[in-house]
Structure 1
């Protein structure tokens, strides 16, 4: 009997020890984890973002802003005898919401039902809707582009969640979306907040000020559309750059689109082809070849080259002038650029040799991205390295802009080097106001830049670029006509181009 009592006592003590140890584990060792788990069942944490930052032009004009819109909803299971009368009043208040449409939305529904999403409402409409029992408003912020197509490819657009999907909206999304605020609250069984526990620091979003000028952009887009229409071209692009700061004052492609109605336009209209699409630059590239020859002291502006009567055989291929009636013989380097001689440029390149030309192309940073703030920038195509043995025919083609692919933004930057006295600046869409004319950015001498500028002035005043003459301004520039590469191979059209700048005004 004593043994039984003793055994029972031992078992009791053991079980008691188990209970005590379990209680100790729960209340002491595992206390924090269990408390956290318990809290998680009734405390919810949400992220609240501020209104998206505005995008402004260089003078502070709004380009992308936020407006208040509203979602209208109801819960049909709560409808009473007067519910449909209230729907009629809603239709009277917001005419685009017809009563038959509203009735069809709720007739077979018992749960949360949208009556309208992201609609703009006046103060008067808001007050009337708020008086309709069982019909609720949910405020939202909607992105709006007040200038419609203006700067569309640069600005881009946002998705339904207000996240940037293209253009500056995408590349600067982090700054525009801002830092979120974390809000913790206790909710009831239906998920409704009943007590706010805490909030993190205030949410904050940045405004972005672009370098672009709305007025210059408007003029550029108007002239670009006119040029594309007049020449019956498939598309066109244009840009205006401050040669000292690298700031882009205007940049456009046509056709374009309205970012307020993105889906109404073909997807290709959204692309900033000026930055994303490489092309064979053609004769506008001759300026770079000649600048390289002057910089390497292979030739001077007055050095003469025999242009073979307008036709030259290279590796069993004929190199001829773009205008086949031209029968050039002896031309100076300046005249070769002025009259855009393919044969003359080839002769200069043969004197220069590829390694030296490639050194210059590397300094101009061809076949490299410029780093402009747009998604999808192409670096272009330059197949041969400095050490490669380049065939004469390939060297000839490269010298006048064939067999090489650049982007329009690269070519704009390369001419800025000539305009600003020899400095390579980084293009930027953001207003910075900082001169990039610093010693580390100097890639050609001031003398070379001045000599090439004078040649480009002659090309405008008395050469292929006379259409670019502007009264009261001295203009320097170069025209180009390149064959367009077909996706199926070979060529199927032409790309016309011009790059220029005013002289003796400032380095901008």
Structure 2
């Protein structure tokens, strides 16, 4: 082999090495470029995806407990609030012995063992067994130590006053949705909504709370303040129930309103129900009869006939009408008065409640004008109150009226109203002729109880001139004075006005008037000089007495005697007009117009001690001093006892000791 060949042979291994290095270098560059490209793709193109995965591994979403807002009365007392309540659940993957577990849970769940076992055999991580456990039941579950059985906390609704105000407040279902009353009307405001935040978590998926970001606390939704007053609600319910039990009635209602603002201060319905246990009552018992039941108002409707007559100037209070000695024929119908009358003034027609006088006034007024005034008062239409389930009542179109319809509508037959319609219409007379929309809610509150929105009071629309309303108030005052049909509604220290009504009950099946079922009505206001409160009382099917002046009027008196002093309304009767003792003359229903006549004491310096229990110190002092008595107060809060007792006689200037306590 030559020298040249040897050189060539020696160079070949160096070339191979060089080539291999270059090849590896090129491959490395390609690999680096691929890694760089992939990194760039992950960091730029897929950035959102990987960031979300990172957050998902390091953070978790946490639901903030939010519970339904409170409902309070006008003084701030809780009417409805949310409480934390244990709930029982099972983890199907961890339950070891469904049959034995079910048998041990029967007393707590309250279901058959086979049904519980069927639930436990479901392949679910969360199986709800029962809501709303008591603390004792929760302790029992904890003591059983059953695998796969656990408890969680939920918010449930609680109504501290139980039956009181149940028809107004209403209730919520197990899912937290309002089903009746204010709870339903303002469900969107009160109902809890889902809120969430984020929290860090460790490798064991446990939440980590830093000092600067503590765990979120439960939050309360907006609350609601009602115009309703808890004390006045209780007073109204007690007086209504007393009358219903006394007269063996089927049902009743009492609506107490502010005459100037149309705020509903109390709305009592009997029979009542406990919203804490609404499912144990029949749905018919949930119904708010004051807005959902219509009835014929009877002679209480003569009030609005008189309003139309006076405003249209078709007759004057002193005009005289011949009342046919108690009997008149209209077409094929015979109209009668309870007591026969000859000549009566227009004012006396209302005072003694003459049907014949009313139909003659209606005939002189004319159907068209009468209908127009009834429409202005809102009959045949909903009041617009902020409660669900209101009906409109019935006022047939004028075009369908027959001659007899004008006559019977004049004394409250052939037309139906609700209790709230009746109260609202009389409130328009009491406040000078302005009709407004009745309201139950007063203001919206934040979680701390601060007012964030007040429901404004509307100006109202005029349905009567102020002069007509003033005249009508005086005519209605005569109804409760001696000789009127509503003497049992008269108040000892306040001027009073109102109208009685007694209507035959219409049988639902036959649509005919019952021969032994009636509706008793009294609606009125006080004081007459400056009307503050309006109260409508309706009692259905009382037995055996059924006249409104006998059955319903005493409820008005019982409520007003406590409500007016409680609100700080000063008596407007002069001392000489307030008899020291009152004797209620026993009378049959036919003689009801003669009862309640005040009997004057022989001693001019003797006064009757009024009942001031339940009043504030300021109101009690005002009432007693106005009666000519001095006061010795003891304690703070409201009057719970007094000595001497109410109704006893004492000399003017005598001291009355009143004991006061804080009432929760």
Could you say whether these structures have the same fold, taking a TM-score greater than 0.5 normalized by the shorter chain as the test? Answer: yes
Q: Deviation of residue 48 (structure 1)?
A: 6.4
User: Aligned pair in 2 of structure 1 residues 54, 204: CA closer, same or farther (>3 Å)?
Assistant: closer
Q: Which runs of 5+ in 1 are unaligned?
A: 1-26
Q: Equivalent of 1:332, from 321, 341, 345?
A: 345
Instruction: Answer yes or no: is 1:459 the counterpart of 2:473.
Output: no
In the TM superposition, residue 137 of structure 1 has moved relative to its aligned partner by 2.1
How far apart are 1:117 and its partner, in Å?
3.1
Is the 1:280–1:402 Cα contact (8 Å) retained in structure 2? yes
Q: Deviations over 1:470-499 (max 9, x none)?
A: 211211111100111111121222100100
Matched, 1:483 2:504: yes
Matched, 1:390 2:401: yes
Where does 1:98-247 land on structure 2 (aligned, <5 Å)?
A: 109=120, 116-121=130-135, 125=139, 135-181=149-195, 205-247=221-263
**In 1, Cα distance between equivalents of 2:503 and 2:111:** 60
2:95–2:149: 8 Å Cα contact kept in structure 1?
no
Establish whether residue 428 from structure 1 lines up as the match of residue 410 from structure 2. no
Residue correspondences, number: 465
Which moved further from structure 2: 429-438 or 326-335? 429-438
> What is the Cα deviation at residue 133 of structure 1?
7.3
2:264 is aligned to: 248
**Aligned to 2:300, what secondary structure does the other structure show?**
helix
1:449 paired with 2:460, answer: no
Change (3 A) 1:353 1:193: farther
Q: Which residue of 2 aligns with 1:375?
A: 388
User: Residues 177-233 of structure 1, C-alpha deviation per residue, up to 9 Å, x if partnerless?
Assistant: 14432568999xxxx99999xxx9x97621111111111101111111111111111
Normalising by structure 2, we get a TM-score of 0.62
**Greater displacement, 110-119 / 423-432:** 110-119
- Residues 1:407 and 2:423 are matched in the alignment: no
With over 3 angstroms needed to count, the CA separation of the structure-2 counterparts of 1:487 and 1:105, relative to structure 1, is closer
Helix, strand or coil at the partner of 1:249:
strand
Change (3 A) 1:270 1:99: closer
Residues 440-498 of structure 1: per-residue CA shift (max 9 Å, x gap):
52221122111111111111013000111121121111110011111112122210010
Task: Work out the CA distance in 1 between the residues paired with 2:89 and 2:309.
Answer: 72
Q: Which structure carries more relative contact order (alpha carbon 8 Å, separation 6+)?
A: 1
Conservation of the 8 A alpha-carbon contact between 1:280 and 1:401 = yes
Q: Tell whether the 8 Å contact from 1:178 to 1:203 is kept in structure 2 after alignment.
A: no
User: In the TM superposition, what is the alpha-carbon distance from 1:376 to its structure 2 partner?
Assistant: 1.4
CA change 1:141–1:483 in 2 (3 A) is: same
Gaps of at least 5 residues in structure 2 are: 1-41, 210-215, 444-453, 533-664
CA offset digits 1:140-199 (Å, max 9, x no partner): 111111111111111111111010011111111000114432568999xxxx99999xxx
Query: C-alpha separation between the residues in 1 aligned to 2:345 and 2:145?
Result: 84
2:287 paired residue number = 271
1:391-443 deviations in Å (ceiling 9; x for gaps): 321100111111111111111001101111111121110126888584x5222
Paired residues of 2:322 and 2:343 also in contact (CA < 8 A): yes
**Does the CA-based 8 Å contact 1:286-1:400 persist in structure 2?**
yes
Q: What's the counterpart of residue 297 of structure 1?
A: 313
Bigger-Rg structure (1/2)? 2
Q: TM-score, normalised by structure 1?
A: 0.80
Distance verdict in 2 for CA 1:333–1:128, change over 3 Å: same
Q: Aligned partners of 1:392 and 1:305: how far apart in 2?
A: 20
